[in-house]
Structure 1
Amino acid sequence: MERIVDIATDNQHLSAHRGFLVVTRDREEAGRVPLDDVAAVIVHAHGVTWSTNLVVALAERGALMVLCGPNHAPTAVCMPLDGHHGQNARMRAQWDAGKPLAKQLWRDVVVAKIRWQGAVLESRGTPADAFDMLARRVRSGDPDNVEAQAARRYWPLLMGEDFRRDRAAGGINGLLNYGYTILRSLLARSIVAAGLHPSIGIHHANRGNAFALADDLIEPFRPLVDAIAAQLKSRGCLEVTPETKRLFAGLIAIDLPGEAGVTTVSGAAVRLAQSLSRCFETGKSSDLALPRPPSSLELSSLGHPSP
């Protein structure tokens, strides 16, 4: 199973040695992980240094290095330039995709996200019939911004009436930022591996956003993080700690159902990116393999440490 390596202790050095990511402190080894097992390295601590050899070794394996700010949100990402043997053709198809296709794809993404939100609420005993109705109202391109309408209902039901989603805030927002950082890294890696360019989105189009496509494809997966954060909140865990990091890092291994059988979140991200490349090549949005939520029992168990 691929691993998320989180560097949260100050004054450490990261290097590559004989196929391992090696962490040293005061010139003494603190730990090592096989490079082939690494999906992403997330650096939170200050004063951390690393070798160019390590960054190259990670890129050669399609792994990312993510640098985070104090709010646990990513501020920089180092990723490979060469991700797929058919990269040139796929990027050309991605760039040439017309607006009608992009709007249809975004509609499908929004519908999947809203249905995921409803599934998370139902797993916590909250009626969510309205979310099924909202999902049916989404049109091509979501011109009515049903996604935002769903969010205005969703957050108070999940986190309480006083909650406000604020990317710059700490507490429960910091937990969400950390979980989303893991998912964003996972989606960015899958996008590159599929031969697509992460800055060419189907909906997000901010000129300064180098990961617009990752921010598009992350949407159906976000409720997984929300479910873990809500469970942690109910237990009084409101800060990013080593325990909460382990819970979020483990979400890439959660099993999800799909048309091609059960797969992990990591596998679902790969399927989604690969299917999107086919959509660009064929011009058909029906090829998009969006993730499906697990059962209510499995969702309700998220956020609990493994026995």
Structure 2
Amino acid sequence: MVGRVVEVATDGRHLAVSRGFMTIAENGAELARVPLDDLAAVVANAHGLTYSNNLLVTLAARGVPMVLCGANHRPAAVVWPVDGHHAQSGRMSDQARASAPLKKRLWQQIVQAKILAQGATLDAVGAEAGGFRLLARKVRAGDPDNVEAEAARRYWPLLLGREFRRDQEGEGLNALLNYGYAILRAATARAVMAAGLHPSLGLMHSNRGNPMVLVDDLMEPFRPLVDREVYRLKESGVVELTSEAKAALARTMVVDLPVDDGLSPMMTCLERLATSLAKACAGETDRLILPKPGLPLGF
């Protein structure tokens, strides 16, 4: 399903459900409503928001994650359904039993896809990216040489300038990246949930304080799409998290990406990736379904 990622970013709003719609109100007066059928995720990104229990239950029943953001627009929590897939129990058991060698081979594919996507992003902005194809070929199972980090060290100065430093607590361009990644994380969470996988059982990320390590693993190859949009905003003079910037970053979730049989919306690509991971854990395949290297036309 390709739906809308809806952000609520104004303080003091109340979210509820009414006759097939999510409603947004202030001081008892309804301001807007969104069809529940259109929702892919809801991002709560303001102070003093309130929600009806009925809305949270309805979103969970529909497999729509609600992401609660804290400081610097980073996700602090996700409202997650208990049962997200008809074969969830079996898939989670397969996931928990997946061998270390399998997870390392799958992580190799993810890192290679991310580095190739970084190279495609640099190509799109006119930067030298030939070395990224070479880096992708260097990645071994489990990435023991940390080629991912080497690529990042080269990538950020080429994309956003030598003075840029990635800082998850930072403002300016970092806040734009944080916001875009929060939207991407919500979309990836929905895909993980729909595939019947457990978000805390990751392939490589292992932070004990992070209950969404698998989400963070699977979103890696898609981060460069957010990075590309931040570059475009920067080039147009937008370096703060304005409403214009938020809308532009949210639109990255519905772009069509190149796949083996043509083009497919990003959210569909995320769903295919999560489903292929579930099949890999069950021993049905050893390959993840990932978008092809490159960016869609006009992106």
TM-score, normalized by length of structure 1? Answer: 0.95
For 1:84-233, what aligned pairs fall within 5 Å after superposition? 84-233=85-234
Letter in 2 for 1:31: A
Counterpart in the other structure of 2:32: 31
Counterpart of 2:43 in 1: which secondary structure?
A: strand
Counterpart in the other structure of 1:11: 12
Per-residue deviation, 1:127:
1.7
CA shift digits 1:70-91 (9 cap, x unpaired): 3011111111111111111111
After superposition, the Cα gap between the structure-2 partners of 1:195 and 1:296, relative to the gap in structure 1 and judged at 3 Å, is: closer
User: 2:284, 2:296 → 1: CA distance?
Assistant: 35
Letter in 2 for 1:138: V
Counterpart of 1:195 in 2: which secondary structure?
A: coil
Q: Are the aligned partners of 1:66 and 1:76 in contact in 2 as well (CA < 8 Å)? A: yes
Letter in 2 for 1:108: Q
User: 1:124, 1:131 → 2: CA distance?
Assistant: 14
Q: Are the aligned partners of 1:111 and 1:138 in contact in 2 as well (CA < 8 Å)? A: yes
Counterpart of 1:21 in 2: which secondary structure?
A: strand
Counterpart in the other structure of 2:289: 289
Per-residue deviation, 1:45:
1.1
Per-residue deviation, 1:242:
1.2
Letter in 2 for 1:187: T
Letter in 1 for 2:9: A
Counterpart of 1:189 in 2: which secondary structure?
A: helix
CA shift digits 1:94-140 (9 cap, x unpaired): 00000000000000000000000000000111121100000010001
For 1:5-84, what aligned pairs fall within 5 Å after superposition? 5-84=6-85
Q: Are the aligned partners of 1:44 and 1:70 in contact in 2 as well (CA < 8 Å)? A: no
Counterpart of 1:239 in 2: which secondary structure?
A: coil
Letter in 2 for 1:134: L
Q: Are the aligned partners of 1:101 and 1:284 in contact in 2 as well (CA < 8 Å)? A: no
User: 1:36, 1:95 → 2: CA distance?
Assistant: 32
Per-residue deviation, 1:227:
0.1
User: 1:168, 1:111 → 2: CA distance?
Assistant: 27
After superposition, the Cα gap between the structure-2 partners of 1:296 and 1:91, relative to the gap in structure 1 and judged at 3 Å, is: closer
User: 2:13, 2:292 → 1: CA distance?
Assistant: 39
Q: Are the aligned partners of 1:101 and 1:283 in contact in 2 as well (CA < 8 Å)? A: no
Q: Which moved more, 1:142-151 or 1:238-247?
A: 238-247
Aligned-pair RMSD on alpha carbons? 1.2
Q: Which moved more, 1:253-262 or 1:178-187?
A: 253-262
Per-residue deviation, 1:240:
1.2
Letter in 2 for 1:61: R
Counterpart in the other structure of 1:267: 268
Counterpart of 1:276 in 2: which secondary structure?
A: helix
User: 1:271, 1:261 → 2: CA distance?
Assistant: 14
Q: Are the aligned partners of 2:257 and 2:296 in contact in 1 as well (CA < 8 Å)? A: no
Q: Are the aligned partners of 1:191 and 1:197 in contact in 2 as well (CA < 8 Å)? A: yes
Counterpart in the other structure of 1:298: 298
Per-residue deviation, 1:238:
1.1
Count of residue pairs brought into register by the alignment: 298
Structure 1: any 5+ residue segments left out of the alignment? 300-307
Structure 2: any 5+ residue segments left out of the alignment? none
User: 2:199, 2:138 → 1: CA distance?
Assistant: 29
